Structure 1
Amino acid sequence: MDGRYWGRTCNGRQLLTDQQIREVMLARRVDTERFESRLRSIAGNLDPVPASDRKNGHLYLLAEPAAGPVAAPVLRCLDAVTLQRVIGIEPDHDPPLLQRSATHRAHPDGRLLTAGVRKNTSGSGLSIAEDDLVWLLVTDAGAVELACGAGTTAQRTKFLFTGPEFEQVVNPPWVVEFVTSFCLLVAHLGEQHLAYTGPWRLGLLIDRLAGIRATDAIEDFEFGLDLEGFPSPEYLETAPCSFAELRHSSAEVAGRLAERLLRGLGVSESHLPYERSTC
C-alpha cells in the first residue's frame, strides 16, 4: 500500500484528504453512538416492566438493516409457528426460549409477539412473569427489537453454607443460545418478509450486571471453581454481519456479541466457540 486513503465517489475512485478521512471517521462514530442509543431506548420504549419493579437484569437485542430502513409487511411476518419452524425446538432451559413467544399484542410501531405477560384475572392491568418475559417487535422500518426479563435470574445455591440461599446469576449457554435464535429469526425476516439480504447491524445489552456471577460458579462450586462477579453495571456490544453469516453462522455471530460478557465472567474458554444444542 502507498499509505494513502482512497474513496469511491460518483466520479469514481478518488484520493481522500486528511479532512475527508476525519469526517468519515466522525460519521462512523456518530452512527455507532446513535445505534447504541436506540438499543438502550428499548428498555424504556418496549420493556413492559418499569425499572423500579425489576428483580432481574434484563436483556435487550436490536437488529437493523445496515442499508437503512426497509419496508416491512408486518401484518403476517411473525407468529409462534414461524418462530418454532425457523429456530427449531431446543431442550428446555430455565430462562425463556425465544420461540415460545406466542401472544400478539397491538403496538403502534409494528408487529409485536410476547411471552410471560397476560391480563390479570381481575381485568385490571397485566400480570408479568419476569423470568419468562419476551417482547419481540418487528417495526415498520424493518428493525427487530427484543426485550427479555431473564438477563439475570435468581437461582438456588447448592451449598447453603457458602452464602445466601438464592443468588442472581447469568446463564452463559442460555445467553448465547438466545442470541443465536435471534440471529436466525432476523435472517428469516430479512429474506422472507423484508426483501432484504444485505448486511445488518446487531446489538446486545444486559443491565444490572455489577457483581453478578455466571451459573458456573454455583454448578461447579464443588470442584473449586472460584468466579468473580461481572465488573461493570451493564454489558453492551454491537457487531456488523452479513446476511450469509446470520443464516449459516448464527452461533458465530452470537459468540461475537457475547464474547466480552463471557470473558468478564471468567467463562469464555468454557463456552466458546459455541455449538448449538439439538434434541
Structure 2
Amino acid sequence: MDLKLNGKLAVISGSTSGIGKSIAHTLATEGARVIINGRSQESVDRTLAELQLGDQAVGIPADLSTAEGCDSLIQQAAKIAPIDILINNAGIFEPCPFEEISDADWQRFFNINVMSGIRLSRAVTQTMKERGWGRIIFIASESAINIPVEMIHYGMTKTAQLSVSRGLAKSLAGSGVTVNSVLPGPTWSEGVQDFVKELAGDRDIEAFKENFFSESRPGSLIARFGQTEEVAAMVAFLCSEIAATTTGAAMRCEGGLVDTCF
C-alpha cells in the first residue's frame, strides 16, 4: 500500500531510541525525509549511523524540556523544508510511589511529556494551515486511561496529551491538518527494559518478564509486549494521505489492555 509520504518532511521528537527510532525508520522506508532528535549530538549521531538512512535522515540535537530547545529544533528543521509531519514522541517515565513524587518531579514530567508537544505543535500549525496539509501525532499511552499506580505522574501527563490532541484537532477543523494520539501498551524498548528491571528488583529478570502480564497486566489480550515496529506502523498510517478522515482520535495499539469498546 502506497502511503504517499514521498517528499514529506517529518520531525520525530525523542527519536534516538525506542518507539521514536522505529517511527523514524518506518517513515523513511515509506519515502519521507526524517529529522532525528535527541538531547545530545552523540545520541543523534549514533542513531543516524545505526539507521543508515543516508540523505533521508538529518539529526538535530535539542533538549525539549525547555522552550529554547523546542524553538531550536523547529527553526533548524524548517531550514531544510516546510515541516509536513510532527510526531510528539519525546517523553520520560519511571516508577515511583505517589508519596515520594516531589513537586520538581511532577513539573519535570509535565515539561517534557506535555509542554514539549504543546510548544512544537504551536510552532508548526500556522504553516501547516497555510499549506492546507499537515499531520500532528502525540505518542500517548494506554496509561492515559489505565493510570498506573506505580507512576501516577506519568499517567497524568498522558491523559493531558489526549486533551491537547483532541482540542487541537477541533481548532484545526477543515484546514487539511489532522491531529491524533496513539496509545501504545507495554512495548519492549530500551526504556521499558530498564523499567522492568527496576520493578523486578532481586528477582530473575527473564522470569519476571515472562510473568509480567499474568501478574501486572492481566487484562492484555495479546499477553505479550508489543514491538516498537508495531506502534510505528500505526503512526505511519495516520501520517499518510489515506488517513485524511481520521482526526481528533485516540488510536489504541495496546494489545486490548484497555477494557472498553470505545
Q: Normalised by the size of structure 2, how large is the TM-score? A: 0.34
Structure index of larger Rg = 1
Which has the larger share of helix? 2
Name the TM-score, length of structure 1 as normaliser.
0.33
